[in-house]
Amino acid sequence: MLNLAPEPKSPQALHRVTLHGPADAARTVLLVHGFGTDQTIWHDLLPLLDPALRVITYDQAGCGQCDPSVFVQHHYLNLHGFAKDLATLAQSLDLRDAILVGHSFGAMVGVLAALQVPACFSRLALIGASPRYLDDGDYHGGFQEQDIEQVYRMAMANYSGWADAYAPVAVGQANGPDLAERFARSLKAIPPERALTILCAILQSDHRQSLPQLKQPVRILQTQRDSLVPLPVAEYMARTLPHAELRLLDAQGHLPHLTAPDQVAAALRDFLH
């Protein structure tokens, strides 16, 4: 009897991998988006990168056009599930010495994945990254327990309303309502139950112990004022990662690749070569 079961999809198909630039480029860059967004968040940055680069974008589990079958909730109660996806994807793409650029939770997913498959990535650029959001003694993560509990209550009670309120804070008030509305639409495109699972995985994370293990060179990009990731977090990461440098951007908000892509491109230019 013939087996008519469909062929399993490749990681590239499941995560809607998109390739930009020449396939035979000498250097490959992999972009990992953050919470509330998908690979389209890189739209304004991509034209500013060197056209000689091969750039790869994809949608993380539960986001964008990623196959819905990927998001099995109990696999994504922490960041390790997302990191496993990225490591598997990097291997399926046969990456060697690629450069990883990650934003926010995508940055920490990148760190964890690079620890799993170090040969795939030669260096990492981390935008608005945080290993832990909750304050802990001398560590100033930016949130206290009551802050996180309030986020959960508001998001669970009215996710759409929470997204509308959260977006201007994340984007930065100085960057105007249009970009905040764009980010709010991106947030609300994610089914609330998936978004809440990812949000919990992020806010409950603590990956400070992983930082000293990363041997690749790292460039940390941090805006002058970020309501979600304060400057002391970026400074902590620069001290704790073995081979890291901190670059401050003359910008505000948590999504500089959306609000100030020219500055992000300039800060990455020499690092990508």
The catalytic residue among 104, 130, 205, 210 is 104
Say what angle helices 145-157 and 159-171 make with each other, to 10 degrees: 130
- Kindly report the length of the chain: 273
- Both tokens of 66, joined, read 């990623």
**What is the C-alpha separation between 239 and 234, in angstroms, rounded?**
9
**Which of 237, 235, 158 lies closest to 195 in space, CA to CA?**
158
Does 254 qualify as catalytic in the annotation? yes
250 catalytically annotated:
no
Cα 232 to Cα 138, 223, 225: the distances in Å are 10, 12, 11
- Chain-centroid distance, C-alpha 233: 16
Instruction: Please say if 97 is a catalytic residue.
Output: no
- Which of 33, 103, 207, 254 is the catalytic position? 254
Candidate list 38, 59, 85, 226, residue with the active-site label: 226
Residues identified as active-site: 104, 226, 254
